Amino acid sequence: MPIYEYRCQQCQALSSRFVRSISAPVAPQCDACGSDRMQRRMSSFAMGKTTAGVHESTPANAGSREYYNDPRNIGRHVEDSFARHGVDMPPSVRESIDAARSGAAPQGLDL
């Protein structure tokens, strides 16, 4: 579920709204002054790696060849597993994933 941030054009205050559906009509009002002159901005914070976010952001083609050919998906399952168990990912794992995503083979593996 995306979170939209709106900046009030009246008082510049930020308000956040959960949005159940992209297509759902949203008519936000400023939390601070009640103005409806709100300008939407995508919340970068809301795009972070919460466990729920990872699940919801899993693309429809997950498991297909295209999915695994996309370097951005390398290690996604590992990240998800650590997040699901509430365990901090060891730096070595983090480095391996980052290296793999940038095109390098994991150390110790002859690919």
Tokens read off for 78: 């590992």
Cβ distance to Zn ion smaller for residue 36 or 56: 36
CB 47 within 8 A of CB 3: no
Least Å distance between CB 33 and Zn ion? Answer: 3
In the complex, minimum distance from the CB of residue 41 to Zn ion, in angstroms, rounded to a whole number: 14
Q: Which residues contact 35 (CB under 8 A, 6 or more apart)?
A: 8, 9, 10, 11, 29
Total of chain residues touching Zn ion, rule CB under 5 A: 8
Instruction: Write out the binding residues for Zn ion, residues 6-45 only, by CB under 5 A.
Output: 8, 10-11, 13, 30, 32-33, 35
Least separation, in Å, of the C-beta of 66 and Zn ion?
44
Q: How far is the CB of 14 from Zn ion (least distance, A)?
A: 9
DSSP structural state of residue 60? T
Give the position of tokens 């008082």: 11
Q: Which is nearer to Zn ion, 32 or 104 (CB)?
A: 32
Alpha helices (H) along 1-111: 51-57, 65-69, 76-84, 91-101
Interface with Zn ion by CB under 5 A: which residues? 8, 10-11, 13, 30, 32-33, 35
